[in-house]
């Protein structure tokens, strides 16, 4: 089945850029998603990229996709303390029936 | 409703008991998903409904787990003979699209603790 790997922790200073990386095994995903989970809150969609795109920019967020290497990254520009959360990479499974989540990267932003 | 609603928000039960968890998806969303999230892990897929039918139940860990969605709206996840390893947050999500997962809207989850 689909396997999704992410680094577990990232610590940055306020104002710096954050880059969260993800590798996955199944290349058939049409869309690849990034979700955010804040303490005590549900998962929320952050952004997504279509599989035939290399890059997508959405305000402070930039998603890069290297489909050949099955590598997805999320860059957050001018990181704020409010960005502290767990970020999940979530490509679709091979059947296209569900999203498969990695373990998540905990982003800690210090002021 | 405005969002995905899950009840109960917390459930404490004893090993061996039967548990039901309910999910009320966003009105009009035909796709409904159950995930579970253990501490320090990402959400793990359990089952996907398209309308009333389970289109993919490959994530259910064993036959103690069962889910229904009889009228294509509210869904119930049923766990028989609960075990301590079933302790987790059970998440429900719904989606408007029919041909791919699309954007999933998650509820806040039902935290199950099996003593």
Query: Chain B residue closest to A31 (CA)?
Result: B102
Please check the confidence at residue B99 and state whether its pLDDT lies above 70. no
Task: Check: CB of residue A99 under 8 Å from CB of residue A93.
Answer: yes
Please check the confidence at residue B1 and state whether its pLDDT lies above 60. no
Cα A96 to chain centroid distance, Å, stands at: 19
A34 versus A92: the higher-pLDDT residue is A34
Q: How confident is the model at residue B8 (pLDDT cuts 50, 70, 90)?
A: very high
Q: Are strands A71-76 and A61-66 parallel, antiparallel or unpaired?
A: antiparallel
SS (H, E, C) B50-85: ECCEEEECCCCCCCCEEEECCCCCCEEEEECCCCHH
In angstroms, the separation between the Cα of residue B58 and the nearest Cα of chain A is 10
What pLDDT digit, counting tens, does each position of B25-73 carry? Answer: 999 999 999 999 999 899 999 999 999 999 899 999 999 999 999 999 9
Q: Are B56 and A92 in contact (CB < 8 Å)?
A: no
Task: Check: CB of residue B53 under 8 Å from CB of residue B38.
Answer: no
Cα angle value A107/A108/A111 (rounded, 5°): 140
Q: Are B44 and A93 in contact (CB < 8 Å)?
A: no
d(C-alpha B77, C-alpha B10), whole Å? 14
Please check the confidence at residue B98 and state whether its pLDDT lies above 70. no
pLDDT at B10: 97
Q: How confident is the model at residue A29 (pLDDT cuts 50, 70, 90)?
A: confident
In angstroms, the separation between the Cα of residue B105 and the nearest Cα of chain A is 7
Q: Are A42 and B106 in contact (CB < 8 Å)?
A: yes
What pLDDT digit, counting tens, does each position of A41-72 carry? Answer: 889 999 999 889 999 999 999 999 999 999 99
Q: Give the gyration radius of chain B's Cα atoms.
A: 13
Query: Would you tell me how many other CB atoms lie within 10 Å of the CB of residue B31?
Result: 23
């Amino acid at each position: 089945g689909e396997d999704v790997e992410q680094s577990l922790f990232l610590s940055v200073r306020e104002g710096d850029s954050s880059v969260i990386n993800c590798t996955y095994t199944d290349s058939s995903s049409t869309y690849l998603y990034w979700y955010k989970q804040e303490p005590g809150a549900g998962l929320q969609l952050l952004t997504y990229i279509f599989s035939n795109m290399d890059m997508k920019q959405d305000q402070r967020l930039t998603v890069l996709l290297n489909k050949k290497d099955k590598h997805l990254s999320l860059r957050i520009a001018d990181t704020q303390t409010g960005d502290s959360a767990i970020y999940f990479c979530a490509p679709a499974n091979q059947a296209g029936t569900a999203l498969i989540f990695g373990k998540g990267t905990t982003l800690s932003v210090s002021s | 409703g405005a969002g995905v609603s899950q009840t109960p928000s917390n459930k404490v039960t004893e090993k061996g008991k039967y548990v039901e968890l309910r999910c009320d998806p966003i009105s009009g969303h035909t796709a409904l998903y159950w995930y579970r999230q253990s501490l320090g892990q990402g959400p793990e897929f359990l089952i996907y409904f398209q309308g009333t039918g389970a289109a993919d139940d490959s994530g259910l860990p064993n036959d103690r787990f069962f889910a229904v969605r009889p009228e294509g709206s509210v869904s119930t996840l049923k766990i028989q003979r609960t075990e301590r390893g079933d302790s987790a947050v059970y998440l429900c999500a719904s989606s408007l699209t029919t041909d791919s997962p699309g954007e999933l809207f998650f509820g806040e989850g039902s935290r199950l603790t099996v003593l």
